């Protein structure tokens, strides 16, 4: 009986979680034929019993690209859907938001002919994306560090030019200047924060070097870098996130994607206020 039920499955919605995975399978008529929570180590063996070419849909969340690569290697039609496109199909009124309703909503969303699926990333693409995420985190941490230094200095009436470059040029002298009223402990605090700032700069420099290596090694990134207003950082981010670069037909589309992936870089190039301006406040 179980074999007959699995043969009827044409579409499966999967809600991924850390410890368990909820599946919701339907037949060609859209009737539910299977709905159950599986442990992580049970999921792939269960998928191995599905008919070849069965559509298995998941939300594009953490770990989804890994599972999609595994499922495609098994001969299944793995698809990823952005969470924004799943929400309209969630039947929260019948039982609230939970893993079961999420899996059912994903299964329903995957049935729509006009549904836009997320391209499945390769391991290399995800490696480049991890580089950009770490870089963005370091950049935010550097901004916070600079603001903390400014806050300490302001407590003693020491206020300097708005750009980080101006502050950095005078900070060492300020720490050593005995004429200001900063106590010894505050000087040690500012010195330690200054050392951390320089360390973050070194980490960011390393990230930029890795981005440059990716662009030089990727033909798609080289082409994207030629679009006015993108540069190496935006080109690296957009080629790693898009997947199929042939899907982007217009330069305007490439610039729009790059703006989403590397907003601060594009803001600097286009003279618009970006995240780096936060350090000036």
Give the residue among 190, 191, 211, 66 at the shortest CA–CA distance from 138.
211
Give the residue among 242, 40, 6 at the shortest CA–CA distance from 14.
40
Q: pLDDT band for position 85 (50/70/90)?
A: very high
Residues 199 and 130 in one domain: yes
pLDDT digits (tens, 9 = 90+) for 209-245: 999 999 999 888 888 888 757 788 988 998 888 755 5
How does DSSP classify residue 276?
Answer: G
Residues 23 and 77 in one domain: yes
Q: pLDDT band for position 263 (50/70/90)?
A: very low
Q: Where are the beta strands (DSSP E) in 53-201?
A: 55-59, 77-81, 117-118
CATH of the domain at 99: 3.30.420.140
Residues 131 and 107 in one domain: no
| Predicted confidence (pLDDT) at residue 117 exceeds the cutoff of 70 | yes
Residue 198, phi then psi, degrees to nearest 5: -65, -35
Which domain covers residue 43, as residue numbers? 2-118
Last residue within a domain, chosen from 84, 118, 152: 118
Give the residue among 147, 149, 144, 161 at the shortest CA–CA distance from 187.
149
Distance (Å, rounded) from C-alpha 177 to C-alpha 171? 10
Percent of the chain at pLDDT exceeding 90: 66
Last residue within a domain, chosen from 68, 83, 118: 118
21 touches 63 (CB < 8 A): no
3-state secondary structure of 169: helix
Distance (Å, rounded) from C-alpha 259 to C-alpha 245? 16
What Cα–Cα distance (Å) separates residue 191 from each residue in 139, 173, 178, 204? 20, 11, 14, 20
Residues 83 and 130 in one domain: no
pLDDT digits (tens, 9 = 90+) for 185-203: 999 999 999 999 999 999 9
| Predicted confidence (pLDDT) at residue 169 exceeds the cutoff of 60 | yes
Domain count, the chain: 2
Last residue within a domain, chosen from 66, 83, 118: 118
> pLDDT at position 33, please?
93
């Amino acid at each position: 009986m179980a074999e007959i039920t699995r043969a009827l499955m044409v579409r499966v919605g999967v809600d991924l979680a850390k410890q368990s995975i909820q599946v919701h399978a339907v037949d060609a008529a859209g009737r539910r034929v299977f709905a159950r929570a599986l442990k992580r180590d049970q999921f792939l063996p269960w998928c191995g019993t599905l008919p070849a070419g069965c559509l298995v849909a998941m939300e594009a969340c953490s770990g989804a690209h890994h599972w999609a690569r595994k499922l495609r290697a098994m001969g299944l039609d793995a698809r990823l859907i952005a969470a924004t496109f799943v929400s309209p199909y969630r039947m929260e009124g019948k039982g609230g938001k939970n893993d079961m309703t999420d899996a059912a909503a994903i299964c329903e969303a995957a049935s729509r002919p006009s549904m836009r699926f997320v391209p499945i990333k390769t391991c290399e693409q995800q490696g480049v994306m991890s580089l950009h995420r770490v870089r963005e985190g370091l950049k935010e941490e550097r901004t916070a560090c600079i603001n903390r230094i400014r806050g300490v200095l302001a407590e003693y009436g020491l206020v300097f030019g708005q750009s980080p470059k101006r502050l950095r040029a005078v900070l060492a002298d300020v720490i050593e200047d005995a004429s200001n009223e900063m106590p010894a402990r505050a000087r040690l605090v500012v010195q330690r924060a200054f050392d951390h700032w320089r360390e973050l700069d070194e980490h960011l420099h390393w990230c930029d070097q890795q981005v440059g290596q990716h662009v030089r090694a990727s033909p798609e990134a080289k082409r994207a870098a030629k679009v006015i207003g993108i540069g190496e950082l935006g080109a690296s981010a957009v080629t790693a996130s898009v997947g199929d670069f042939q899907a982007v037909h217009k330069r305007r589309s490439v610039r729009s994607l790059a703006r989403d992936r590397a907003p601060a870089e594009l803001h600097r190039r286009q003279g618009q206020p970006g995240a780096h301006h936060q350090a000036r406040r």
